[in-house]
Structure 1
Amino acid sequence: MTSIRLASLAAIVAIGLTAGGCAGYRESRGYILDEQLASAVQVGTDNKTSVEKTLGRPTFTGQFNDNEWYYVSRNTSTFAFRNPRVTQQTVLRIRFDAAGNVAAVERTGKEQIASIDPYGKTTPTLGRRKSFFEEFFGNIGTVGGVGTAGQGGRGQ
Structure 2
Amino acid sequence: MRRPAIKLHRLFPLLLLPALAGCAIFSARPHYRGNAVSAHELKQLRPGVSTKADARALLGSPTLRETFNDDDWLYVSQITKRRIARTQGVIRQHVVVLQFNQQGVLQSIHGIDKKNAVMVAMAGGHTPAPGGRASLFQQLVGGVGHYNPGLGAGQPGGFGGGSPGYGGGNAGGFSGF
* TM-score range normalised by the length of the shorter chain: 0.5 to 0.7
- Report the identity percentage: 22
Q: 1:104 aligns with which of 104, 108, 116?
A: 108
Q: How does 1:75-154 map to 2 (within 5 A)?
A: 75-79=79-83, 81-111=85-115, 112=117, 114=119, 116=121, 123=125
User: Gaps (5+ residues) in structure 1?
Assistant: 1-14, 125-135, 137-156
User: Normalising by the residue count of structure 1, what TM-score does the alignment of the two structures yield?
Assistant: 0.58
Number of corresponding residues: 109
The yes-or-no answer on 1:23 pairing with 2:18 is no
Q: Structure 1: which 4+ aligned runs deviate by more than 3 Å?
A: 19-22, 115-119
The yes-or-no answer on 1:65 pairing with 2:69 is yes
Counterpart CA distance in 2 for 1:22 and 1:84 is 16
Superposed CA RMSD in Å reads 3.0
Q: Structure 1, residues 100-124: CA drift from partner, whole Å, max 9, x if none? A: 11011110101205264776xxx39
RCO greater where, 1 or 2, for CA within 8 Å and sep 6 or more? 1
Tell me if the contact between 2:34 and 2:63 (Cα under 8 Å) persists in the aligned partners: yes
Q: Which moved more, 1:94-103 or 1:28-37?
A: 28-37
Counterpart CA distance in 2 for 1:32 and 1:83 is 22
Tell me if the contact between 2:34 and 2:77 (Cα under 8 Å) persists in the aligned partners: yes
Tell me if the contact between 1:95 and 1:104 (Cα under 8 Å) persists in the aligned partners: yes
Compute the displacement of 1:98 (Å).
1.6
3-state SS, counterpart of residue 77 of structure 1: strand
Counterpart CA distance in 2 for 1:115 and 1:100 is 31
Q: Structure 1, residues 107-155: CA drift from partner, whole Å, max 9, x if none? A: 0101205264776xxx39xxxxxxxxxxx9xxxxxxxxxxxxxxxxxxx
Q: Structure 1, residues 58-82: CA drift from partner, whole Å, max 9, x if none? A: 0111211211111000111223534
2:147 alignment partner in structure 1: none
Tell me if the contact between 2:83 and 2:89 (Cα under 8 Å) persists in the aligned partners: no
User: Normalising by the residue count of structure 2, what TM-score does the alignment of the two structures yield?
Assistant: 0.52
Counterpart CA distance in 2 for 1:117 and 1:98 is 33
Tell me if the contact between 2:94 and 2:114 (Cα under 8 Å) persists in the aligned partners: yes
